[in-house]
Amino acid sequence: MRGRARLVAPEEEAIVVDAAERAALDRYAQRFNARDWDGVRALVAEDCELDLVSKSQRRGPQVRMYFARYEQEQVALRVARLDGRLVLAAFVAGAPAPAYVMLLGWAADRVIAIRDFRYVPYIAIEAELELLDGPVA
């Protein structure tokens, strides 16, 4: 058909979720939400690096003490996507929206890095988080 162009909406790029990373985050969140602190600590590598963004940094055995604060608080984690990356969204005391996010780095099913944005909550407020439903099978 001369003079007529077929208008096709460009397809949105499908963002692929790494199943292994998703499963690892689900496992971490499940243990965290179950208050299984020994189980959470078991996932953390001995030489893990912790960055409490805008607050402090820790490494190795000092990271294990990081969870003591969470033992005293009502925080639940859910896997979410932020800018194409999987993160953990932290919900404080049953709030309907996440207060902040965490990024975890993995190597051989162990957490080797934690970036906790607890002290910069505006990131979660301004971010377009996509909460992912349920753990992967």
Domain boundaries, the chain: 19-131
Calculate the alpha carbon distances from 104 to 12, 118, 130 in Å.
27, 14, 17
Whether residue 8 has pLDDT greater than 60: no
CA–CA separation, 21 vs 8, rounded Å?
34
Please, what is the Cα angle at 98 between 34 and 38, to 5 degrees?
25
Whether residue 119 has pLDDT greater than 80: yes
Structure tokens at 106: 């993995």
Residue 32, pLDDT score: 97
Whether residue 124 has pLDDT greater than 90: no
Return the CATH fold of 19-131.
Nuclear Transport Factor 2; Chain: A, (3.10.450)
Mean pLDDT value of segment 35-54: 94
Mean pLDDT over all residues of the chain?
A: 85
The model carries a pTM of 0.82
Mean pLDDT value of segment 75-91: 94
